[in-house]
Amino acid sequence: MMIKRIPTAVLFLVFFPFFVSCAARVSGSLLADGQADMNISASLEPRMTMLITGLAAASGTVQPGAALLSGPSISASMSAAPGVASVSLVNTTPSAIEGPVKISQLGDFLAHGNANDFFSFEQSSAEKNGRCAIDFNLASGPEILSLISPEINDYLDALMAPIATGEELTKTEYLTVVGSVYGRGIADEISQAIIHVSIDFPGLVQSARGGTFSGRKAEFNIPLLDLLVLEAPFRYEVTWR
C-alpha cells in the first residue's frame, strides 16, 4: 500500500522539497518588519531519483524525461500557503529546482491550529532587539505538512517519516525500517543529507541556537534525518540587536 501511494505524490512535491532525501541550500534575509526574502535550491540524490523514477514509470504518472520536482507546480502550491507572498522556482534539471521565495510576514507563516508556533518572530522598534525561532515536534509536524500540501504529507507518509506519520521512532529504528523496505542505499542518503541555511538578520546576531553566527549572519547545517524523525523536539533560535 505504501509503495502505491508514492507515484501520486511524485506529481505534487511541494514546498521545502528538501524534506525528501536531497541536497538543499536556503539563503536569504529577514527584515525588521517580519518579511523575508529567501532563495532555495534543492535536488534529489541519485538513489532517491532512481527510486522515484522507477515507481513513477511503472505507474505511468510521470512520462520519461519529465520533471520529478516541478518548479512551476511547487511554486503554485507554495504561493497558496499562509504568509507566503510570492514564489518563482524553476527546474535546472528534472530532479533539481531553484529560485526566490518571499514571505510577507513570518508571524503569519503557516499559522493555524497546532502549527501556530512553527515560526515565532519578535522585533522591538524601540530597542532594536529581535528574536526569531522555528519549532517542529511530532504534534505540529503533520499539521504543518498538511497546510503546505496533503500530497507531500502522503509522500513522506509513504517514506514512513515520523514528521508525517506522528509515530515515535528513534533515528536508528527509522533508518532500519527504510532500509528494509527501500534498500540500504536510500537509508544512507537520508542519513547523510544536510540542509544548509544561511540568513542575514536585521541587527547584529547575539546568539544562534543550533548554529553559528558572525555579524548579521547566522548559519545552520541541519541533518535531514533529525527533521524527518523528530526524535527530540526540533528548535532553532536567533536573537539580535
Q: How far apart are CA 101 and CA 85, in angstroms?
A: 8
The answer to whether the predicted template modeling score (pTM) of the entire model surpasses 0.75 is yes
Structural domain including 81 reads 2-240
H helix and E strand count, the chain: 9, 12
Whether 149 shows a pLDDT value over 80: the answer reads no
> How many independent structural domains does the chain possess?
1
- The three grid cell numbers given for residue 113, joined into one nine-digit string: 491550529
Whether 180 shows a pLDDT value over 90: the answer reads yes
- Kindly give the residue spans of alpha helices, DSSP state H, lying in 20-97: 46-59, 71-79
pLDDT tens, position by position, 95-123 = 888 999 998 877 676 565 555 566 777 88
- DSSP-based helix, strand, coil % in the chain, nearest 5: 35, 30, 30
Lowest mean pLDDT, pick from 126-130, 131-135, 160-164, 226-230: 126-130
Give me the chain's average pLDDT, please.
Answer: 78
Residue scoring higher pLDDT (203 or 112): 203
Give the pLDDT score at 29: 92
E strand or H helix that includes residue 199:
strand 194-200
